[in-house]
Amino acid sequence: MTIDVVVFDVLGTLVDEPSGLRDAIAAAVPGTDRGTATDLTGVWQAHVAGEQRRIVAGGRAFVPGHVLDAEAAAAVARRAGVGAPQVVAALAGAGARHPAWPDSSDGITRLAGRFPVVGLSNASRSTLLRLAAGAGLRWHLALSAEGAASYKPAPEVYRLAVEAAAVPPDRLLMVAAHAWDLRGAAAAGMRTAYVDRPGGDPPGAHDRFDLHATDLTDLADQLTRTGVRPC
């Protein structure tokens, strides 16, 4: 492979979205135990994922990710039986507060010493700004699906990264913990690297990704060992 740019998914790949949501829900909704918070996290994620699919399929006009997060917060509040406006307001910001995985910062730093590093996320621009600040993420460029008025795995979202890099798509390496995301990137002509994360979407029997890594440290090691470098 010749790789000029490394492109990272963010939610679930660089930050621990399930834990961030669970902790925010537990803090915002009085008396919520861990099991209930986990169930409510599932409500949040199901709403966002379902609405993103509906937008990609043309069943709904595009709205940015923070709008879907606000809807998800309202759905969580309804399921929890909480109507207090201050609780809903506290929940609405949960989508922008997720901890980084322990290897994310050092892994990105290592890779950024050799390649331009891009974040490509379904999160909105405003959410990406706050996620990066809160989780200590440093990249050379952050791109939101908001720029394509759609969501991954729609091809126009991956084209944002290809156009920004100004190189053929097979010179970009898409890194994600979600097989569905990597399938979309591969369909757009990009190289692919799967990173194993708790709560991710593991590859299926028929997936053929270019690299498989246990974490970003392992990914950086693999790229070093194989001599992959920018052209």
156 shares a domain with 88? no
pLDDT value of residue 214: 97
123 shares a domain with 26? no
143 shares a domain with 106? yes
pLDDT value of residue 90: 85
How much is the mean pLDDT over the chain? Answer: 94
114 shares a domain with 218? yes
Q: What is the pLDDT of residues 90-99, one digit of tens each?
A: 888 898 999 9
49 is in which domain, residue-wise?
Answer: 18-96
208 shares a domain with 127? yes
135 shares a domain with 76? no
Q: Is the whole model's pTM more than 0.85, yes or no?
A: yes
pLDDT > 80? residue 228: no
pLDDT value of residue 85: 86
SS3 of the chain: CCCCEEEECCECCCECHHHHHHHHHHHHCCCCCHHHHHHHHHHHHHHHHHHHHHHHCCCCCCCCHHHHHHHHHHHHHHHHCCCCHHHHHHHHCHHHCCCECCCHHHHHHHHHCCCCEEEEECCCHHHHHHHHHHHCCCCCEEEEHHHHCCCCCCHHHHHHHHHHHCCCHHHEEEEECEHHHHHHHHHCCCEEEEECCCCCECCCCCCCCCEEECCHHHHHHHHHHCCCCCC
Provide the total of helices (H) and of strands (E) in the chain, helices listed first: 9, 6
The total number of structural domains that make up the chain: 2
119 shares a domain with 158? yes
40 shares a domain with 135? no
Domain end, chosen from 44, 70, 96, is at 96
pLDDT > 90? residue 30: no
- Give the CB-side neighbour count of residue 52, counting CA atoms within 13 A: 26
Domain end, chosen from 96, 115, 138, is at 96
Residue 231: pLDDT band (50, 70, 90) is low
Q: What is the pLDDT of residues 138-184, one digit of tens each?
A: 999 999 999 999 999 999 999 999 999 999 999 999 999 999 999 99
218 shares a domain with 163? yes
Is position 230 within any domain? no
209 shares a domain with 181? yes
pLDDT value of residue 227: 66
Q: What is the pLDDT of residues 35-91, one digit of tens each?
A: 999 999 999 999 999 999 999 999 999 999 999 999 999 999 999 998 888 888 888
Is position 32 within any domain? yes
Is position 55 within any domain? yes
pLDDT > 70? residue 229: no
Give Cα separations from 230 to 95, 113, 116, 124, 167 (angstroms). Answer: 34, 11, 9, 29, 11
118 shares a domain with 66? no
Residue 31: pLDDT band (50, 70, 90) is confident
